[in-house]
Amino acid sequence: MTKINSIPLGSPFHPENAREYERWREWKLAAHPSVPEELVVPVKDLSSPSEKEEEAILRLCRAANMAIYDTGRRDGVDSPQLAEELKSFAAHFGLIDRERHRSMREHELVDIRVASKEERPRQGFIPYTTRRLLWHTDGYYKYGYEGVRPIRAMILHCVRQAKEGGENELLDPDITYIRLRDENPDYIRALMAPDAMTIPEFMEEDGRVRPESKGPVFWVDADGNLNMRYTERSRHIIWADDDTTRKAVAFLRDLLRSGDEPFLFRVRMQPGQGLLCNNVLHTRTEFIDHEEPERRRLLYRGRYANRVRAPQSIPA
């Protein structure tokens, strides 16, 4: 088996540090919200959340790597002002290193909606259809090659709901780490290997090549945070060719599909609600959209290379 990435021995995420792991595990399971309603924080002003709102969101992101904020706006209005408010809100929590995605609009966020047949390359990708999305973290293919920075946080804001469906399942990556390590610490060693998961190179329609992405499923960054990259897709993915990795991936897939995990939450975000998170595992069910263009499902998405943290200096 390939050796794991360099992790300080004092980290609770080092497979050999059983003492610190048990202390962290005990805190994590006690602090984690037990129902999805506990993730919701009302926010009156997206551009300037109050100290109380800020503290509640940060507490949830520490305990569960995610929070759902609720502005109470249900009008479904898509506007440049909303996009600016969302960027300001994300920046308030340290999210300023935003991805320059090929599908972003002039306001530098990506709108997640059903693409028309004329919209290329959007039309060929599942997020821009009514089809279901399998378990994944965002940007799992952005790791391990020159010039790329992994996606470590995300904001996903619901402007309008679908007519039916479009629910999201959410799971804190820390919980998957705990379940895998409790089952077999060798699963963690396998999924921390630098060649655990490989996404082959991909050629865009304009001829640009996205390089091969090879790296671990779990890794610890310079600040000591546990991060995860994962996709449940079965095509165009290469797992390390050893028995432990295969068993670890099978265990993780069963965990996500079984419905037995108590900290796996299903939500259907209302208009005006949004997910602020450290790139948690998530899905989307298939949906039926409205006939009227002005009522069709629409979400704004921003992805970031840094994690949620307490605000320091807020960009103007």
Please give the pLDDT value at position 313.
45
Q: What is the CATH number of domain 18-293?
A: 3.60.130.10
- 95, 304 Cβ separation under 8 angstroms: yes
- Sorted by sequence, the CB contacts under 8 Å of residue 251 that are 6+ apart come out as 179, 180, 183, 184, 187
In angstroms, rounded to a whole number, what is the distance separating the alpha carbons of residues 171 and 64?
A: 8
Where the chain has pLDDT below 50, the residues are 1-3, 104, 313-316
Please give the pLDDT value at position 2.
41
Closest listed residue to residue 78, CA positions, set 161, 155, 158, 159: 159
Number of H helices, E strands in the chain: 6, 19
Closest listed residue to residue 114, CA positions, set 311, 315, 291: 291
In angstroms, rounded to a whole number, what is the distance separating the alpha carbons of residues 216 and 198?
A: 9
pLDDT digit string (tens) for 202-238? Answer: 876 666 778 999 999 999 999 999 999 999 998 899 9
In angstroms, rounded to a whole number, what is the distance separating the alpha carbons of residues 285 and 244?
A: 31
pLDDT digit string (tens) for 102-120? Answer: 554 556 799 999 987 766 5
Exposure b/e, 22-44, CB count within 10 A at least 16 = b: eebbeebeeebbeebeebbbebe
pTM score of the predicted model: 0.93
